[in-house]
């Protein structure tokens, strides 16, 4: 038997595979296909203080080895999550983390406070990196002072696992990671989507209603790996890697680069069973290489 | 309804013309129950420009022969790859997805099914389903640019009275489906339609004006097909809802058309 469990800040995960926010709904969407309690952690859809309608259709463009989305944090608000969703998921044996987003620091703080009251939710992922909303979102994650202020204020009210999700749309992601760590983040997840654009030449129009959107899928994997590697070199808190993971080999690459856990996002759209396949694939890899624990390969890249 | 991810076997690939193929799929196991209006998300492998699954309407299901039919129009690389599949090859599908058309109240209701182009696909299964449920007065109105865009006319004729329009007058009445004389002479009690958005909007306007029950099947671009990604939304009076889970079939009174 190999030990797949990992410690992630204040969290203990049964394995290092998590789902990325906005790609796995509330988890229940996938119950016909897999036993979602096998997953190490589920990051639920981006949640804001108030209901958001999101951006107009079209919100998605398929691109080479990836896709652009401009959903714009459509969600029914934190109270809806607390009243309608949490009772449904609370007995499922995995770590549910709520991805929290906001337009102002106060929005983030109030939303985090409300989720802090939920006994069964062991953590939040602070989304300071959504590229698809005009106000807030990525704006917080692209400068050190604003990233520092939102993490500092949320840290004051939120006592459990505080994971902070970084934007790749910055000049130096290491600077942001260090600031976030200094303000008390328990872990850092990266990368959110890369800002991109698609054009319909025949119509001479942008494909997305918002013109620009967030790129995800295998196309971003080399960028994500590089950033995870850079950040893992300098921070002491655990790093959660994501960006274009389609299979176990991709996930292992992130672990080797220094990620203590990974998140699977876009791949869920193509194979709703991919999370379980990745968990099994990591286990098979560890056995094949005679490792007794997944901890043995975290940051084990030989350079 | 429980959703499945299945590897189905290509039993036959009938090229209807240079734009359309009819894929007849089967399985060693019994196919799950599927309803008219529902769709499948089809995985396309070995196509360099195709990353996501392709949402394809359920064209017809025959439980006696354990066959699922998909009508595929070549639009891009993904559908071209699907249309070149050979018997014996495997196709991975997630199904059944979405809601279904609403069964009319009375067996004597005068029903009109309108399909445009590849939008006719869900109408064949719906027509057969209605006929099997004992509905007698079913008219299928198919429209296209030319006779090449009118599909499965003989299949439809087994279940319904078939009338057509073409823009170039190569089959049936000349013009668009909404210009067909039957819309003036007949008194339909329900209309179901799928096809290009301008066509469906014109049908919806006609139904609204005549105060006729009308359902449309939307074909928004999708990623997941199961309500997780929130990419395929349409704007309704309740706000943005996913076409893949709350649709693809919508009563026109719910849409902001």
- One DSSP character per residue, chain A reads --B--EEETTEEESSSEEE-TTSSTTSGGGTTTS-GGGSSEEEEEEE-SS-B--PPSP-EEEETTEEEE-----B--HHHIIIIIHHHHTTSSSEEEEEE--SSHHHHHHHHHHHHT-TT--EEEEE---TT-SSSTHHHHSSHHHHHHHHHHHHHH--SEEEEEPPS-SS-HHHHHHHHHHTT-SEEEE--PEEEE-EETTTTEESSTTSEEEEESGGGHHHHHHHHHHHHHH-SS-EEEESS--SHHHHHHHHHTT-SEEEE-THHHH-TTHHHHHHHHHHHHHHHTT-SBGGGGTT----
Between CA B175 and CA B143 the distance in angstroms is 8
Exposed/middle/buried for residue B164 (C-beta within 10 Å: 0-12, 13-18, 19+): buried
pLDDT band at A116 (very low <50, low <70, confident <90, very high): very high
Which of B231, B237, B245, B248 to mutate to probe the A interface, most A CBs <10 Å?
Answer: B231
Q: Average pLDDT of B74-87?
A: 94
Residue of B nearest to A33 (CA): B4
Q: What does the pLDDT look like over B119-153, one tens digit per residue?
A: 999 999 999 999 999 999 999 999 999 999 999 99
Q: What is the CATH number of the domain that holds B79?
A: 2.40.30.10
Domain count, chain B: 2
Cα A272 to Cα A42, A210, B126, B227, B238: the distances in Å are: 14, 28, 28, 12, 28
Q: What angle do CA A272, A273, A278 make, to 5 degrees?
A: 125
Whether chain B has a CB inside 8 Å of the CB on A21: the answer is: no
Whether chain B has a CB inside 8 Å of the CB on A43: the answer is: no
Q: What is the pLDDT of residue A172?
A: 97
Q: What is the pLDDT of residue A1?
A: 85
Yes or no, beta carbons of A57 and B234 under 8 Å apart: yes
Q: Average pLDDT of B175-202?
A: 96
Q: Which of B2, B5, B240 sits opposite A53 (nearest CB)?
A: B240
User: Is residue B55 domain-resident?
Assistant: yes
Cα B203 to Cα B44, B126, B177: the distances in Å are: 33, 18, 8
- Chain A residues in contact with B3 by the CB 8 A cut-off are 32-33
- Chain A residues in contact with B94 by the CB 8 A cut-off are 272
Q: Average pLDDT of B13-24?
A: 95
Strands B111-116 and B67-73, bridge-based pairing: unpaired
Give the closest-approach CA distance of B40 to chain A in angstroms. Answer: 12
Claim to verify: residue B145 and residue B52 sit in the same structural domain: no
Q: What is the pLDDT of residue A139?
A: 81
Q: Where are the domains of chain A?
A: 6-54+72-198+212-297
Q: Is residue A144 among the annotated active site residues?
A: no
Partnered with residue B141 across adjacent β-strands are B114, B163
Q: What is the CATH number of the domain that holds B144?
A: 3.40.50.80
Give the closest-approach CA distance of B51 to chain A in angstroms. Answer: 6
- Chain B residues in contact with A266 by the CB 8 A cut-off are 223
Q: Which of B62, B97, B132 lies at the terminal end of a domain, its last residue?
A: B97
Q: What is the pLDDT of residue A132?
A: 78
Whether chain B has a CB inside 8 Å of the CB on A77: the answer is: no
Whether the pLDDT of residue A164 is over 80: the answer is: yes
Q: Which of B49, B221, B240 sits opposite A58 (nearest CB)?
A: B221
Claim to verify: residue B85 and residue B137 sit in the same structural domain: no
Q: What is the pLDDT of residue A135?
A: 65
User: Is residue B230 domain-resident?
Assistant: no
pLDDT band at B48 (very low <50, low <70, confident <90, very high): confident
Q: Average pLDDT of B64-77?
A: 96
Exposure of B117 in the CB half-sphere (CA atoms within 13 A)? 14
Q: What is the pLDDT of residue A131?
A: 79
User: Is residue B241 domain-resident?
Assistant: no
Between CA A130 and CA A134 the distance in angstroms is 10
Yes or no, beta carbons of A60 and B223 under 8 Å apart: yes
Give the closest-approach CA distance of B135 to chain A in angstroms. Answer: 34
Q: What does the pLDDT look like over A169-184, one tens digit per residue?
A: 999 999 999 999 999 9
Claim to verify: residue B37 and residue B84 sit in the same structural domain: yes
User: Is residue B254 domain-resident?
Assistant: no
pLDDT band at B13 (very low <50, low <70, confident <90, very high): very high
Yes or no, beta carbons of A57 and B51 under 8 Å apart: no
Yes or no, beta carbons of B233 and A22 under 8 Å apart: no
Whether chain A has a CB inside 8 Å of the CB on B50: the answer is: yes
User: Is residue B232 domain-resident?
Assistant: no
Domain extent, residue B28, equals: 4-97
Q: What is the pLDDT of residue B230?
A: 98
Whether the pLDDT of residue A134 is over 80: the answer is: no
Q: What is the pLDDT of residue A130?
A: 83
Which of A25, A70, A80 to mutate to probe the B interface, most B CBs <10 Å?
Answer: A25
Give the closest-approach CA distance of B47 to chain A in angstroms. Answer: 11
Q: What is the pLDDT of residue A133?
A: 78
CATH 3.40.50.720 applies to domain A6-54+72-198+212-297: no
Q: Which of B5, B50, B52 sits opposite A269 (nearest CB)?
A: B52
Q: What is the pLDDT of residue A137?
A: 72
Residue of A nearest to B245 (CA): A29
Give the closest-approach CA distance of A59 to chain B in angstroms. Answer: 5
Q: What is the pLDDT of residue A136?
A: 62
Whether the pLDDT of residue A302 is over 90: the answer is: yes
Q: Which of B43, B64, B97 lies at the terminal end of a domain, its last residue?
A: B97
E strand or H helix at B144, and its extent?
strand B138-144
Q: Which of A57, A67, A268 sits opposite B228 (nearest CB)?
A: A268
User: Is residue B255 domain-resident?
Assistant: no
User: Is residue B45 domain-resident?
Assistant: yes
Between CA A176 and CA B167 the distance in angstroms is 60
Q: Which of B182, B180, B184, B202 is nearest to B193 (CA)?
A: B202
Tell me how many residue pairs between chain A and chain B have CB atoms under 8 A apart: 88
- Chain B residues in contact with A67 by the CB 8 A cut-off are 51-52, 223
Q: What is the mean pLDDT of chain A?
A: 96
- For residues B104 and B189, is the Cβ–Cβ distance under 8 A? yes
Q: Which of A29, A59, A217 sits opposite B51 (nearest CB)?
A: A217
Q: What is the pLDDT of residue B69?
A: 98
Whether the pLDDT of residue B252 is over 80: the answer is: yes
Claim to verify: residue B70 and residue B24 sit in the same structural domain: yes
Claim to verify: residue B51 and residue B85 sit in the same structural domain: yes
Q: Which of B73, B97, B121 lies at the terminal end of a domain, its last residue?
A: B97
Whether the pLDDT of residue A274 is over 90: the answer is: yes
- Active-site option among A130, A191, A239, A242: A130
- Chain B residues in contact with A54 by the CB 8 A cut-off are 230, 233, 240
């Amino acid at each position: 038997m190999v030990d797949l469990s990992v410690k992630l800040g204040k969290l203990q995960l049964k394995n290092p595979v998590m789902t990325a926010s906005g790609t796995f709904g509330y988890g229940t969407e996938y119950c016909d296909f897999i036993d979602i309690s096998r997953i190490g952690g589920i990051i639920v859809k981006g949640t804001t203080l108030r209901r958001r309608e999101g951006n107009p259709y079209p919100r998605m463009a398929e691109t080479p080895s990836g896709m652009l989305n401009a959903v714009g944090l459509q969600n029914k608000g934190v109270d809806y999550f607390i009243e309608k969703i949490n009772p449904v998921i609370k007995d499922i044996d995995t770590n549910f983390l709520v991805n929290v987003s906001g337009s102002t620091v106060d929005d983030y703080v109030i939303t985090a406070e409300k989720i802090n009251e939920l006994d069964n939710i062991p953590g939040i992922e602070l989304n300071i990196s959504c590229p698809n909303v005009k106000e807030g979102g990525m704006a917080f994650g692209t400068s050190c002072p604003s990233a520092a202020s939102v993490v500092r204020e949320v840290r004051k009210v939120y006592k459990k696992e505080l994971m902070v999700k970084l934007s790749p749309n910055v000049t130096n992601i290491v600077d942001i990671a260090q600031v976030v760590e200094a303000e008390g983040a328990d872990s850092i997840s990266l990368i959110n989507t890369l800002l991109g654009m698609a054009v319909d030449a025949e119509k001479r129009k942008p494909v997305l209603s918002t013109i620009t959107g967030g790129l995800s899928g295998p196309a971003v994997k080399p960028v994500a790996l590089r950033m995870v590697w850079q950040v893992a070199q300098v921070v002491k808190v655990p790093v959660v890697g994501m960006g274009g993971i389609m299979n176990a080999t991709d996930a292992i690459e992130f672990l080797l680069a220094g990620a203590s856990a990974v998140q699977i996002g876009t791949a869920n759209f193509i194979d709703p069973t991919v999370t379980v396949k990745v968990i099994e694939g990591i286990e098979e890899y560890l056995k094949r290489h005679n490792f007794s624990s997944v901890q043995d390969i975290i940051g084990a890249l030989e350079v | 309804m429980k959703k499945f991810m299945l590897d189905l076997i290509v039993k036959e690939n009938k090229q209807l013309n240079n734009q359309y193929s009819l894929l007849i799929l089967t399985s060693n196991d019994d196919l799950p129950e599927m309803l008219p209006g529902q769709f499948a998300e089809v995985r396309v492998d070995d196509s360099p420009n195709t990353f996501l699954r392709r949402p394809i309407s359920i064209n017809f299901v025959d439980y006696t022969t354990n066959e699922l039919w998909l009508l595929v129009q070549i639009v891009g690389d993904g559908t071209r790859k699907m249309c070149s599949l050979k018997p014996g090859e495997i196709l991975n599908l997630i199904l059944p997805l979405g809601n279904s058309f609403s069964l009319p109240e009375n067996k004597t209701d005068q029903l009109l099914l309108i399909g445009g182009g590849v939008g006719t696909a869900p109408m064949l299964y719906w027509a057969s389903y209605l006929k099997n449920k004992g509905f007698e007065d079913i008219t299928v109105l198919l429209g296209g640019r030319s006779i090449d865009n009118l599909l499965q006319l003989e299949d439809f004729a087994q279940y319904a009275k078939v009338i057509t329009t073409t823009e170039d007058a190569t089959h049936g009445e000349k013009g668009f489906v909404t210009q067909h004389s039957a819309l003036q002479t007949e008194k339909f009690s329900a209309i179901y339609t799928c096809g290009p958005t301008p066509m469906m909007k014109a049908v919806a306007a006609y139904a609204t004006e005549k105060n006729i029950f009308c359902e449309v099947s939307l074909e928004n671009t999708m990623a997941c097909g199961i309500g997780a990604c929130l990419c395929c939304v349409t704007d309704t009076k309740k706000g943005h809802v996913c076409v893949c889970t709350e649709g693809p079939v919508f009563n026109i009174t719910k849409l902001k058309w």
